């Protein structure tokens, strides 16, 4: 990928980086020792989105109640948590895991969300879908559109809860993408990290405690989400997350007979075998390029954004910042104009990339440019005095 600048000539090279990062060979060796029972699995770093380990990541499979991650995303993005929801007959009659909602009763969105994600209530899923989408069909359109926007191209939703349907499927990789996005929503992160909650029972006029089905919250240090799932077709499924030492890792397991053992092994692997390193900071000067016909003969080039990468801890050696940038540009030059692309690589593997921008503007060397430059200097002098 190359950003064309105002000059036609481009040059490539390597920026020297005084940074030591980890080699991937030993981490791969450690991964081969993992004995995972799941039919499909993914380990992903939450901050960088880098995939750290996979097993059949693109295999389309039933996802059971992991569906409810997307349901919760849409509810949080399109509804006030204190809005009332009247429970319909269709919602109350939904089979499978349940909050035992009664038709005609009223709950807040907030309470239904806790029932959705902690109790895995299928009735809560339908009630929320009707509330947000106006109808089941409307909500399904929302779900599939959002999945496409998040890059989950191998996912299709036909219901908001995950009960079996041949056209309702996803992949381990797609579910990791959805979970990563969901965890970036603070209210979602708080919701799925909750061990328990109390929700009102409008029939008994009392509050009832409910408990999260995700036992990792009690058993794994740093566990903070996300969702369990099970049907005969899907098998035992889980999206898990945990945070240690400032890093959060996501694990997706589909059809995992040894669900909790798999989750513990993969979370430990992702958290202990890798670390996150910043290799470039937004606005950091990375060099300069020549300017033709300007009041300045050169302009600095800067990184457009922070660049973080996830690397194994096992063996350290230098990472390369590979760039393609204009050899020179012609004035006038606007500040933050794109003039190239910066790629972070290890052994020719692309880890991250960002545009390279001009750090400041340069006026053309003509009467207008000189006049503007004089005016700016005069204004600066007046302000300083």
- Catalytic hit among 65, 97, 170, 241: 65
The whole-angstrom separation of Cα 240 and Cα 250 is 6
- What length is written for the chain? 385
How far apart (Å, rounded) are the C-alpha atoms in residues 210 and 334?
58
- Active site residue: 39, 68, 170, 303, which one? 68
How is 111-137 classified by DSSP, letter by letter? Answer: HHHHHHHTS--HHHHHHHHHHHHSSHH
Spatial separation of the C-alpha atoms in residues 327 and 319, rounded to whole Å: 24
125 phi/psi in degrees, rounded to 5: -60, -45
Nearest of 72, 112, 110 to residue 94 by alpha carbon: 112
Integer CA distances (angstroms), 240 to 96, 133, 343, in order: 22, 28, 31
Tally of CB atoms within 10 A around 382: 8
297 a catalytic residue: no
Query: Would you call 4 helix, strand, or coil by DSSP?
Result: coil
Cβ-Cβ contacts under 8 Å for 244 (sequence gap 6 or more): 221, 222, 271
What's the rounded Cα separation, in Å, for the pair 114 and 225?
13
- DSSP letters, 276-311, are EEEEE-TT-EEEEEEEETBSSSEEEEEESS-EEEEE
Catalytic (active site) residue 120: yes
- Are 276 and 250 a contacting pair, CB within 8 Å? no
Q: Which helix (H) or strand (E) holds 177?
A: helix 172-183
For the chain, the distance separating the N- and C-terminal CA atoms, rounded to the nearest angstrom, is 48
Per the rule left: phi > 0, alpha: psi between -120 and 50, beta: everything else, 12 is: beta
Q: Is 68 a catalytic residue?
A: yes
| Catalytic choice (39, 97, 120, 170) | 120
Paired sense of beta strands 315-318 and 20-23, if any: antiparallel
The DSSP code sequence of 87-103 is PPHHHHT--SS-----T
Chain centre distance of CA 354: 17
Active site residues: 65, 68, 120
């Amino acid at each position: 990928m190359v950003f064309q600048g105002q000059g036609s000539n481009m040059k490539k090279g390597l920026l020297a980086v005084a940074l030591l990062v980890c080699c991937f060979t030993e981490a791969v060796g450690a991964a081969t020792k993992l004995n995972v029972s799941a039919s499909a699995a993914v380990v992903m770093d939450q901050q960088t989105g880098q995939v750290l380990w996979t097993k059949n990541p693109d295999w389309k499979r039933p996802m059971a109640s992991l569906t409810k991650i997307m349901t919760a995303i849409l509810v949080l993005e399109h509804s006030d948590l204190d809005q009332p929801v009247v429970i319909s007959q269709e919602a109350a009659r939904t089979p499978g895991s349940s909050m035992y909602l009664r038709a005609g009763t009223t709950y807040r969105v907030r309470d239904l969300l806790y029932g959705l994600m902690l109790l895995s209530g299928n009735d809560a899923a339908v009630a929320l879908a009707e509330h947000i989408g106006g109808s089941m069909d409307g909500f399904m359109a929302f779900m599939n559109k959002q999945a496409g926007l998040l890059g989950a191209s191998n996912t299709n939703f036909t219901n908001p809860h995950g009960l079996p349907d041949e056209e309702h499927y996803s992949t381990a990789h797609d579910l990791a993408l959805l979970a990563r996005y969901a965890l970036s929503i603070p209210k979602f992160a708080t919701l799925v990290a909750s061990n328990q909650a109390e929700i009102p029972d409008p029939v008994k006029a009392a509050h009832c405690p409910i408990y999260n089905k995700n036992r990792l919250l009690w058993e794994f240090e740093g566990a903070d989400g996300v969702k369990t799932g099970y049907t005969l077709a899907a098998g035992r499924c889980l999206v898990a997350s945990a945070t240690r030492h400032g890093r959060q890792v996501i694990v997706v397991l589909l059809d995992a007979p040894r669900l909790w053992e798999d989750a513990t092994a993969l979370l430990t692997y992702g958290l202990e075998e890798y670390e996150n390193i910043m290799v470039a900071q937004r606005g950091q000067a990375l060099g300069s390029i020549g300017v033709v016909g300007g009041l300045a003969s050169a302009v600095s080039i800067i990184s457009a954004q922070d660049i973080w990468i996830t690397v194994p801890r096992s063996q350290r050696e230098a990472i390369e910042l590979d760039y393609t940038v204009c050899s020179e540009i012609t004035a006038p030059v606007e500040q933050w104009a794109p003039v190239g692309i910066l790629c972070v690589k290890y052994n020719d593997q692309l880890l991250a990339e960002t545009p390279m921008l001009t750090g400041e503007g340069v006026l053309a060397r003509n009467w207008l440019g000189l006049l503007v430059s004089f005016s700016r200097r005069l204004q600066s002098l007046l302000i300083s005095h």
